[in-house]
A and B are shown apart, each in its own frame.
Chain A
Amino acid sequence: MSRKSFNPDCDVREWTGAQRPYDILKEGAIALLVVALLTAGLALVFGSPDEKQVTIQQWSSADPVDFAATAYSELAGTSGIAGYGAPYNNASDGQFLGVTHLYLAKMVGVHIPIDPARTFVLQPLGTLPDAPTLRFALSTWKNASETQRGAWLDEYAKASLSFSHGHLTAAPLSLSNPVNELIASETAMARSGALDSTMGTGGGLYTTDYTNVLLFIADGGWFATLADHQHLLGDQWGMMNETGSYPGQAWLWLYTFWYQIHPFSTSGNADVDAWGIMMLLTAGLILVPYIPGLRSIPRRTKLYRVIWRDHYAGRV
């Protein structure tokens, strides 16, 4: 009968030397206390980020033309969300994983269906009371053919947008074109703060679901400008940054690293590719004890001999 050969990475010889008591609960309690004191102390000295939430009202007040252009893109179906694909719609296949051509988001399917024109423009405007001109514009839009809507949108796109004295105007525009009334009303609604509450609550009084608000704000250019100033964009290693001068999520350095290098920095599949690589590396980390060579690194580097130097020097 052949005996299995001894593998220093997997097999352990029975310890026959001296033993000593070790109180792991005591060490755990001390570690917990030290970390708690450090946390409280550092919070007292440095505080924590207190960035106020971004609202549609802020956006439409700070950059009404960008807001109006975004509302127009939602109505015209040319916004980022309109062409995003799953989980919001079927407009595109989305990103695929590496060379597999596996469209992960598409495989999960459309489970947060969003019709941008209805969700971001027509539905909120429909909640405004005592607005006969707007009602007429909504009705005109609803009853028009796709061709007619396209002609109105084209005409509005060619008009010059300007904002003065609290009013958005597009000129020149034919009187029968309802797009100006829709976009101007949406802008006025946003500047009053009503759009935040209408889009945020989704029909309920209390909500924690701000999906629609966030998607709408992210479709505009103003939000990206804010992120740029705070170094939070993808190409600024933003995933590991915090607002202000606070330290952020430094442990995400490897995740955001992939976004900075070719081919991911110019790839349309960067999100899913970076995710795929990180999942592969995470699996490698979990499986270290089973990977020959990798599992031998601690034994070969002999770092443990530094930690337990007294033992190996024969002093203990």
Chain B
Amino acid sequence: MSDILGALVNLDHPGHYISWGWFQMSYGNFAVVVAMVATFLVALVAPFPGRQKEKRS
């Protein structure tokens, strides 16, 4: 049962890290930060739902 419900992508192995001088960040955290920034930018420029319908009418 646990095999069926187990994660499809296994992340339970040693992490990898971006290192730049004293700065360090895991690839996992980096992916989340990129996703957050991308979501923010999309939210800025994406049209409001229903606006096209409003314009046509």
| A→B interface (CB under 8 Å) | 44-50, 229-231, 236-237, 240-248, 250, 253, 260-261, 303, 306-307, 310, 315-316
Contacts and interface: CB of A to CB of B under 8 A. Distances in A.
A245 B7 contact: no
Interface of B: 5-17, 22-29, 31-33, 36, 44-45, 51, 54-55
Interface centre among A244, A303, A307 (most CB of B within 10 A): A244
Given A241-B26, A247-B26, A47 B12 contact: yes
Nearest to B54: A316
Given A244-B14, A244-B15, A245-B27, A250 B9 contact: no
Contact of A245 (B16, B22, B54): B16
25 contacts: A44-B7, A45-B7, A45-B9, A46-B9, A47-B6, A47-B11, A231-B17, A231-B24, A236-B24, A237-B23, A237-B25, A242-B28, A244-B12, A244-B13, A244-B15, A245-B11, A245-B14, A245-B26, A246-B11, A247-B29, A248-B28, A261-B22, A303-B44, A307-B44, A316-B54
A245 B25 CA distance: 11
B15 A231 contact: yes
